[in-house]
Chain A
Amino acid sequence: MTGILSEGNGARRLPTDWKSDAMQRRIATRYASERRFRAIGLGAIILSAGFLAFLIVSMLGNGLSGFVRTEVAVEFDFPTAPIVIDAATLQGGNADMVLSNANLPAVTSGAAKAALGEDGDSWIGSHAWLTVRDAIKDDPSILERRETLYLPGSADLDLAAKGEASAEAEAAYARLSEAGVIKSALNIDFLTASDATDPTQVGIWGALKGSLFTMLVTLALSFPIGVLAALYLEEYAPRNRWTDMIEVSINNLAAVPSIIFGLLGLAIFLNVMHLPRSASLVGGLTLALMTMPVIVIAGRNAIKAVPPSIRDAALGIGASPIQVVFHHVLPLALPGIMTGTIIGMARALGETAPLLMIGMRAFIASPPGGITDPATVLPVQIFLWSDEVSRGFVEKTSAAIIVLLIFLLGMNSIAIYLRNKFEKRW
């Protein structure tokens, strides 16, 4: 090259030799770098797929057993048992109360001792009498005969069935399964109950309901406020120093660590406004503060992406600015806004730290009835269970993670379905 240049402007350039060795080498290098780039990209995909597969396999491996419990067959001789009950009072609304005072726990442990041996009552769960109560409530006639009921096993027995318990429990499990009185059953209670101190009794329903309420509050606040703020900033606000400052503030807000929002929620919603502690309402408000900037940013980008020719077209036939926004700009921007909302809501669903600050880590043994009731949410419940000493909580923690992931998938599927529905084909 330099040779040609040094000959000055008068010299003719030699015709390019496309077949020369140097040219062939250049082509080979080009192909090699392209292959390298593709290999690296493929590697990145495989690596992330591998991580995802590992996560799913380990969660399912640890967690699926949380949906299964061990049950023990115990025969009850109801006519001779010391049950303090009058069959006539079982009809009507106060059957639960009557049965609660009917000495059922003692009857249950007596029957377990008779059926399973001297230490029989330690192999059934402490809440096994509830199963007996429900059986009587469903069919009071069993009080007049002998009946075999499957009772939930104790935590130790449950662990023994899954091969992780003490030698004593293993031996009892071996003896009982030899006798054929043990079976594994789906643990419906895990999906319908709330937090408890005994790992065999815990359920996810309370936390699931709490998450649902919290997400509803978050969505109801952050979506309309975020979309309207984005619309105002894009379509109406004049461009000046104030709007620049607002833009910078919103961008910064989206990057603030979530625990700071928790402190803000604690300071404003609890200490100043005196809203109920530990409630989904406060959790939702706090998470809405965190989600809103994400929706505003995504919304502004989506609104900016609407072609100006559509605005011109609508203005040109005499649509007012608000008609332009609501008839044309917003529908076209909605898919983009919803993508931002999905990201924001998914982040809010998995958020733990700010909710700890506003007291949602309390032990909540009954599912919340409304947004002002004390509640906890799935990620906080997972955090609490992962901190428990008892071995029985390990599988429950993983099972709760599975429930959280399914909740997340469900929420995102709905959002993606809605987004595709609103997407216009050009």
Chain B
Amino acid sequence: MNDISSPPAKMSARNVNVFYGEKQAIRNVSIDVDTENVTAFIGPSGCGKSTFLRTMNRMNDTVASARVEGDITLDGEDIYSSSMDVVQLRARVGMVFQKPNPFPKSIYDNIAYGPRIHGLASSKADLDSIVESSLRRAGLWEEVKDRLKDSGTALSGGQQQRLCIGRAIAVEPEVILMDEPCSALDPIATAKIEELIHELRGRYAIVIVTHNMQQAARVSQRTAFFHLGNLVEYGVTSEIFTNPREDKTKDYITGRYG
């Protein structure tokens, strides 16, 4: 990894192993992600990229059989230590899921939910401005500003996913983890999400898991290739796609398997 000249890491993983019961899903993975660059995780199905993503905000805690070894730090602080509050961690490390999952509440309440439970707004006007700025940053404001009272589930799939991104942004996270955010969307909606990721870069550290290698090439500056639970190669995206060091990476990106 030392061949990448990188800005200071926002999150670092060192020698991380993840087990589901007896089965090992992640083997000895070490990786840094930062705010300047969008990091893409690619790899064939079942390679552990989503599992690894979910260890970064401890969503794997909800799986009873999951066990994590190694260190993952956020700003140098161990996120698995007992002094780390998992609820606060998940507010600082937000997540966008594969399938758009807005709450069956109004568009306004979807965005306002996070700020409300974390007490981020001091008044109604304050909350209104958080909702507006979050929807603007999610590129959804112009489409929904006249129907904030409508249900979030009545939006189209692409709009729902941008609503979910807006919902994650509303709590001002430091890192946003995206787990195949476009896999359920059509190409036009996908293009909008990718554009959005470009705009959010620099403000938040963004990690995106994707099956789509063109997407990884388009949106990311760093790419990590996972295979069978191992991190095979991690580097600058353009180099990974044009001049991979490992044969496995080359075979995958040229479509020989996966």
User: Are A320 and B87 closer than 8 Å at their CB atoms?
Assistant: yes
Q: Residue on A with the closest CB to B177?
A: A316
- Does B164 reach chain A (CB closer than 8 Å)? yes
User: Are A426 and B153 closer than 8 Å at their CB atoms?
Assistant: yes
- Does A328 reach chain B (CB closer than 8 Å)? yes
- Does A305 reach chain B (CB closer than 8 Å)? no
Residues of B with C-beta under 8 A to A328 = 103
What is the distance, in angstroms, from A308's C-beta to the closest C-beta of chain B? 9
Residues of B with C-beta under 8 A to A238 = 64
Beyond A238-B64, A332-B104, A426-B153, whether A317 also contacts B171 by CB under 8 A is: yes
Cα(A425)–Cα(B106), bound, Å: 11
User: Are A318 and B59 closer than 8 Å at their CB atoms?
Assistant: no
Interface residue range, chain A:
20 to 34
- Does B252 reach chain A (CB closer than 8 Å)? no
User: Are A424 and B97 closer than 8 Å at their CB atoms?
Assistant: no
User: Are A317 and B101 closer than 8 Å at their CB atoms?
Assistant: no
User: Are A317 and B151 closer than 8 Å at their CB atoms?
Assistant: no
- Does A94 reach chain B (CB closer than 8 Å)? no
User: Are A319 and B117 closer than 8 Å at their CB atoms?
Assistant: yes
Residues of B with C-beta under 8 A to A320 = 87, 117
User: Are A317 and B64 closer than 8 Å at their CB atoms?
Assistant: no
- For B91-109 the 0/1 string (1 means CB < 8 A from A) is 1101111010111100000
User: Are B87 and A318 closer than 8 Å at their CB atoms?
Assistant: yes
Cα(A397)–Cα(B29), bound, Å: 78
- Does B113 reach chain A (CB closer than 8 Å)? yes
Within 8 A of B (CB), among A294-322: 307, 309-320
User: Are B103 and A316 closer than 8 Å at their CB atoms?
Assistant: no
User: Are B99 and A323 closer than 8 Å at their CB atoms?
Assistant: no
Residues of B with C-beta under 8 A to A312 = 59, 95, 97, 101
Cα(A319)–Cα(B88), bound, Å: 9
What is the distance, in angstroms, from A372's C-beta to the closest C-beta of chain B? 43
Cα(A315)–Cα(B93), bound, Å: 11
Residues of A with C-beta under 8 A to B102 = 313
User: Are B64 and A318 closer than 8 Å at their CB atoms?
Assistant: no
Residues of B with C-beta under 8 A to A317 = 90-91, 94-95, 113-114, 167-168, 170-171
Pick the contact of B97 from A316, A319, A323, A426 — CB < 8 Å?
A: A316
Residues of A with C-beta under 8 A to B99 = 309
User: Are A316 and B117 closer than 8 Å at their CB atoms?
Assistant: no
Beyond A239-B64, A323-B117, whether A316 also contacts B87 by CB under 8 A is: no
Cα(A239)–Cα(B113), bound, Å: 31
User: Are A425 and B64 closer than 8 Å at their CB atoms?
Assistant: no
- For B25-53 the 0/1 string (1 means CB < 8 A from A) is 00000000000000000000000000000
Residues of A that sit less than 8 Å from B by CB: 238-239, 307, 309-320, 323, 327-328, 332, 424-426
A-B contact pairs, 19 of them (CB 8 A): A238-B64, A307-B101, A310-B101, A310-B104, A312-B97, A313-B103, A313-B164, A313-B167, A315-B90, A316-B168, A317-B90, A317-B94, A317-B114, A318-B90, A318-B117, A318-B171, A327-B113, A327-B117, A328-B103
A310-B103, A312-B95, A313-B101 given; name 13 further pairs at CB < 8 Å: A312-B101, A314-B103, A314-B113, A316-B96, A317-B113, A317-B171, A318-B90, A318-B114, A319-B113, A323-B117, A425-B104, A425-B151, A426-B104
The 7 closest A-B pairs by CB, nearest first: A318-B91, A316-B95, A309-B101, A424-B104, A318-B90, A317-B114, A313-B101
